Each structure stands twice: as structure tokens, then as C-alpha cells.
Amino acid sequence: MKKSPLKILYLYPDEMNFYGDYGNVLALVRRLEWRGLEANVLYHKIGDSLPKNVDIIVGGGGQDTGQLTIHADLLRIGGGLHQLADNNVPMLMVCGLYQLFGKRFVTADNQELAGIGIFDAETIGIGKRMIGNIITETEFGELIGFENHSGKTVLEPSQTPFGKVKLGYGNDPSGHNEGAVTKNIYGTYLHGALLPKNPVLADALISHALINRGEDSEKLAPLDDSLAQKVHIDARKRKQA
Amino acid sequence: MKRRVLVAILIGKLVRGLSRLVGHGGSALPGLVIEKIMPQFINEVLGSLDDGVIVVVGTNGKTTTTKIISELLTSQGKRVLTNASGSNFMRGIIATIVSDYKLKDRALHKDIAVLELDEAYGRLFVERVKPQYVVALNVMRDQLDRFGELAVTTKMLASILQSATNGCVINGDEPELVAIGYGLKVPVAYYGVKPNLRQLFPTDAELMKVFTATPPKSHRTQLTVMLNDFQDQQVSYRIGGHIHEVRLKLKGQYNFHNAAAALTIANMVMPKVSVAGWLESLKHIEPAFGRGESIKVGEHWLELILVKNPSSFRQGLASHASEALTMIAINDNHADGRDVSWLWDVDFSGYSPHIYVASGIRANDMALRLKYDNIELSKTEINLELALASLLNASSSLPRRVFCTYTAMLAIRAILKKTAVMGPGL
């Protein structure tokens, strides 16, 4: 029997897609296709109702104006997102949406935005912009990327960070912790094409989704990721800024 | 010219001579020294020009537009001071003044300056020198690792536009710029493209709305010059209610767009010149350094196309779609932008010519990007010299094409020069 395609939901494609975030969706789609699995990409735009049945949710970064634009809508679908989170739906939230998945976000010009509180964290806009190459160590091994944010994210003691920073800033200028992880939800400042560069994380999201569907993820066929390994080697040679 | 300016120029020429003597081409050094000894140098020199200063700003197209404006004005007898080599910083401008100054006549022999400036330097520049005219081309995401957000860039462009004393030329298809234009106290002329071409020239916001099918909105502003149509290098503009056909040496839709900006400002500065007069000059203008220029290398023609952000890369791919053995060279030095995430905002799936080799510091990132668009790549070679050699030596009679970031372009030109395949003018 032919299995139904995996449904990937991308949140706010028009407003929250600033640094090549679409690469994350592309990575999931291709890695499914290359294994003979089908993907169906859905887009949540302002005003849309949140689908009850999705397999993976991806959200990107935006400018401050983008965050303000989508904020009310995000609060509206917050309850639905919590429900999906409780059902162990895997999610990847980058930069701007990572911030709004916390409890609150105070922008640099002191505007306070309530978050949906999936992460026990809050973010304060500070004068300093944290920009540069970043390398972290996570449960999936080394992740490489680029960060560009002026929000300092403080995790409550109960909140598990996603990774330890090896190069760069991460959640705050001290450069210790990066991101947050709750259930199968990963929040991170590593923007843009995080998943193609870090295929282990892409496959982890896919595996979570397959487990939720009761399909055997042990059979996730290996792919040739030697190119991503070379990209890691190059990234380790680059300075932070 | 004031005596202290003369002294500064003398010192500048001396520094330039010395630095050449010890083997540094170093065009930045005279500027560096003069800025130190006489910070007001640039104000004094530029302030003495009879026709003043035109500043060209915007994310993409500054170098080509500056070149076209300069050559148009030159064709009508103006003596133009310009920073032609793309060195769009203060020191580059000072170096140009030093080298153009004729000691024996004690005069610069210039009427007007046409200067390309990036947003950050432009803002500092206009605090010191009030330009007569400002030309604003576009606001695209670019080097966000330097400025952080697009809103910051837009604010900088606004303060540059607001500094113009005589007039501004603004891209009428850029809502953010048009909004600034409506608030300006000086006369503003707009240029743009015909509504049915708008989809080929998306704004930053439209470029990123990859998922919405709504066609871009048409301008409501009155356009002084409108790009009406083009086929290869045969281009038509609508100016003053009439359609004018012209065959250009410039290549690529974005350069036809840049030419519209240049025609608009040229007309504002010298309103008595006829449209036919401007177009006759425009016909002969060659592409700028690395902006779609073609170089003969051995038996092959090689096209060099600068790409620096999602918009310029997409425009480049769309404008250079003929069959060609292609190389893509991506560096991530400061002048390129440290962040290569922008490659994921470029769609390569529509580019049909064979991409032969990926090169540059981030060659593997580029290769990875192509892999996810299911595009075959023959080679990945970080070293630019080796990559270029393999591109040129591949057994194919097709022309060669190189898309490259800024520092990769400089390096490639240096390699071509070193191997003496470029003509004396290059």
C-alpha cells in the first residue's frame, strides 16, 4: 500500500524567511524524495487555520517588522501548536520564531511581545548584534551555521538548551548555550540552510515524524552526505567574523 | 584651488609614487595619508566643482549605473570625476582626485563628480559633502552580516536622499524608496519598467514571497524613463511619451534597467540635451568591470558576472541563460559578506547551461546548494586558479561563464592578468 506523503508545514513563508530559511524545507523534501518517500509542503499564512494533521513544522527568522506582523496570528494558533507539540510533532524554529516560541520577547525599542511559551525562555533585544559563523555541539553532534540576531535569550533553569557553543554567541553574548529543546521541538539561532548542512538533524526530524506515524524509522536509508561533511570541514576553518 | 589642497595633492602624489616604487599598486595609501593630514580635503575639492556631485546608492547596479552616467555626461562635454573601479569608499575617491589632478595646470579640470557609495559610507559622506543629486536604485537584502536588517539599510538610504540639494532620481518600482521620494523637498524624477516586465524585476519583498502567486503591483508614480521592452541587446525605452529603440553593448536585463536610471539623471542634470543625443551615446557604452563583461581567453570568450546577493544572482541567472560552460565561485570574505546562507534564496533549478565547476572558499557550500536543486556538477575545486584552468581546458567549444562574488572576481581577474591572457586595457 502506498503511504500518504509526509506533511511539512512551513510557518509564515512570506514574513519569516529571511536568511535562506527555505533551505530547511528543501532539505526535508529532498531527503524524503531521495529515499523514495513523498513530501507535501503546506504553508501557514496569516489568517489560515492550523491543520490538525501535520508531520513536521518548520519556521524561520524574520526582521523585527516580520515578527510584529505575524505576532497576533501566532498567538491565535498558539493553542493548536501546543497540542501538536504534546503529540510529539517534530518542529524546527529558527531565530525569530524560536524567540516567539519562548514566553516573551522584548524588542530593542522596548516593545513587549508575548510568546506562545513552548520554551521556558525569554528574549530581550539588546544593543549588540550577534553576527557570525557559529558551531555548536548537540545531541546530534556538531552543528554549523551562521547567526545574526540582537535578541539575548535567557532560558529558565527547567529549560534544556539545544547545544553548547564552540564558536560564536548562541543564546547570549557570553557564548555558552545555544537554542532550546523541548520534546521534539528544536529552537535555534543557526539560521538559513541549517538542515542541508547538518543532515543528521534533518533526518532526526524525519525519524520523529515516521515514529509518530507508526512507520519504521529504523529503515531510514542512509544517504551520501560526504558533501555536507566537507562543508563542515570548511566551516571549522572559518573565523567567527 | 586653495593652497593647502594643493599641498595635500602634492603629498598624495608623492605617496603614490613611493608606494608604486616599492612595488605596491596601493591606490588606498594616498587616500589614507591625505585623510589623516587634511580631513576636509574631500569637501574642499568636491565643493569647488561647478556642476557639483551626483551620488549613486542602492544595493545592486551602482557600478554599472555610475559608469553609464559618467560616460553619458562625458559625451556631452562634461569633465567627470568618478570612482570607476568600484572602490566606493572615501579613500578610493581621494586617490582618484590625486591621480586626476594636473600639477602643471594646478587644476583638476573637472566639472562634476559621479560617485558610487555604499549605504554606510554614503551616510558619512553626505554629512561632509552635500551632493547636488542622489540616484537611488533599490534596497535588497545584501551583506546583512554587516547591517543586520533591511530596515537599517532603508534608513541610511533615506538620509542620503534627504541630503540632495538639487534633485533626486528614484526607482519608481521600489515602494520603500518611492515613499521616501514623496517626502523630499527637491524635485524627484522616477524611472522604472513597463508593468508587464515587473515580474522580471522583483523587489526584495517580492523576491522572497516565493510562495505567493500574486503578480507584483505596478507603479503609480509618473516615470520619466521607462524600460519598455527588450530582446537580446535590442532595447526600447519610453521617454516623454515616445518609444525609442536602441541597440546596446550592455548585456543583461538589469543593465538595461540601470541605463534607465542613468538616462533619468543625465536628463535632470542637462535637460537641454535631446533624447536622441543621450541614446546615441548610450549605444557605445560597454559593460563595467566584471558586470557581464566578455573577455577573450585563448580561443574562448569568458563572461564574468558579479553576484552578491539573492537578487543579483537570480537576475544574473535569468539574464545569462544561453549555453555556456559555467563556473560559480563563492568566497565569504568581508567584501563578499561572511554569511553564505543567501545561496539558499537563489533558485538554480531553472538554469539550464551546464554548471561545470564550483570554486572559491565556499565551493563546497555551493556544491551542496546545487545538490539540493538536483543539479549535476562536474567538479568542486576550492582553488580559483585550478578551477579556472579546468574550466578553460575542458573539451568544449561552448563559451565560458563565471558567476563570482566580489573578492572571487578580483582574484579571477588577477589570475587572468598574470597568465597574460587579458588585453592591455584590463
Which region holds residue B259: left if phi is over 0, alpha if psi is between -120 and 50, else beta? alpha
pLDDT tens sequence across A24-34? 999 999 999 99
pLDDT tens sequence across B301-336? 999 999 988 888 988 898 888 899 999 999 999 889
One-letter amino acid at B226 equals M
Closest CA to B172 of B138, B208, B206, B145: B138
User: DSSP code of A156?
Assistant: -
pLDDT tens sequence across B13-63? 888 888 777 766 556 788 888 888 888 888 888 988 999 999 999 988 999
pLDDT score, position B317: 92
- Quick one: which H or E segment has residue A129? strand A121-138
Does A39 score more than 90 pLDDT?
yes
User: DSSP code of A2?
Assistant: P
- Chain A, nearest residue to B142 by Cα: A19
Q: Is A225 on the interface with B (CB under 8 A)?
A: no
Contact (CB, 8 A) for B409 and B418: no
Does B219 score more than 60 pLDDT?
no
Does B83 score more than 50 pLDDT?
yes
pLDDT tens sequence across B285-302? 998 877 878 888 888 999
Q: Is the ipTM of this complex over 0.90?
A: yes
**Positions of E strands within B232-290:** 234-239, 242-247
Give the count of alpha carbons within 13 A of A140, CB side only.
20
Q: Domain count for chain A, please give it.
A: 1
How far out from the chain centre does Cα B24 lie? 26
Contact B341 A146 (CB under 8 A): yes
- Chain B, nearest residue to A133 by Cα: B339
Say whether A177 sits in a helix, a strand or coil. Answer: strand
Contact (CB, 8 A) for B190 and B219: yes
Residues 6+ apart with CB under 8 A from B49: B81, B108, B110, B111, B112, B113
Say whether A92 sits in a helix, a strand or coil. Answer: strand
Residues facing residue A42 across a β-bridge: A9
First-to-final CA distance of chain A: 51
Please give the domain boundaries of chain B with CATH numbers for all domains.
Answer: 51-282 (3.40.1190.10), 291-418 (3.90.190.20)
Alpha helices in A34-187 (DSSP H): 64-86, 96-100
Residues 6+ apart with CB under 8 A from A105: A67, A99, A112, A113, A115, A122, A123, A124, A125, A151
Residue B101 phi/psi, 5-degree rounding, is: -70, 130
| B48 min Cα distance to partner chain A (Å) | 40
- Alpha carbon dihedral A144, A145, A148, A153, in 10-degree steps, equals -50
Closest CA to A190 of A94, A96, A101, A100: A94
Does B142 score more than 90 pLDDT?
no
CB atoms within 10 A of CB B400: 23
Residue B302 phi/psi, 5-degree rounding, is: -120, 125
pLDDT score, position B106: 79
Contact (CB, 8 A) for A24 and A70: no
- Quick one: which H or E segment has residue B62? helix B62-75
Alpha helices in A87-198 (DSSP H): 96-100, 194-197
Say whether B343 sits in a helix, a strand or coil. Answer: helix
How far out from the chain centre does Cα A170 lie? 14
Residues A133 and A227: their CA atoms lie apart, in Å, by 19
Residues 6+ apart with CB under 8 A from B271: none
Q: Is B341 on the interface with A (CB under 8 A)?
A: yes
pLDDT, averaged across chain B: 87
Closest CA to B92 of B39, B159, B31: B31
User: Is A1 inside a domain boundary?
Assistant: no
* pLDDT confidence bin for B426, thresholds 50/70/90: very low
Contact B344 A22 (CB under 8 A): yes
Contact A238 B144 (CB under 8 A): no
pLDDT score, position B85: 56
- For this structure, is A95 an active site residue? yes
- Chain A, nearest residue to B333 by Cα: A241
Q: Is B200 on the interface with A (CB under 8 A)?
A: no
| B348 min Cα distance to partner chain A (Å) | 12
Closest CA to B249 of B298, B284, B296: B284
Contact A196 B368 (CB under 8 A): yes
* pLDDT confidence bin for B144, thresholds 50/70/90: low
Q: Pick B209 or B77 by higher pLDDT.
A: B77
Residues of B (245-304) whose Cβ lies below 8 Å from A: none
* pLDDT confidence bin for B87, thresholds 50/70/90: low
Say whether B96 sits in a helix, a strand or coil. Answer: helix
Contact (CB, 8 A) for B246 and B279: yes
Among the partner-chain residues A18, A191, A197, the one whose CB lies closest to the CB of B368 is: A197
Does B411 score more than 70 pLDDT?
yes
Handedness of CA A46, A51, A52, A53 (dihedral sign): negative
pLDDT score, position B216: 47
User: Is A120 inside a domain boundary?
Assistant: yes
pLDDT above 70: percentage of residues in chain B: 91
Q: Which residues of B163-183 are buried (b: 16+ CB within 10 A; e: fewer)?
A: bbebbbbbbbbbbbbbebbee
Residue A143 to residues A92, A133, A150, A201: CA-CA distances in angstroms?
A: 14, 11, 21, 8
User: DSSP code of B86?
Assistant: S
| A222 min Cα distance to partner chain B (Å) | 16
User: Is A195 inside a domain boundary?
Assistant: yes
A120: domain CATH number is 3.40.50.880
Which of chain B's residues have a Cβ under 8 Å away from the Cβ of A196? 344, 368-369, 371-372
Residues B127 and A173: their CA atoms lie apart, in Å, by 33
pLDDT score, position B141: 76
One-letter amino acid at B129 equals V
User: DSSP code of B20?
Assistant: H
* pLDDT confidence bin for B148, thresholds 50/70/90: low
Domain that holds residue A166: 6-237
Residues 6+ apart with CB under 8 A from A134: A144, A145, A146, A147, A165, A167, A168, A169, A170, A178, A189, A190, A240
Contact (CB, 8 A) for B96 and B64: no
Is pTM beyond 0.90? Reply is: no
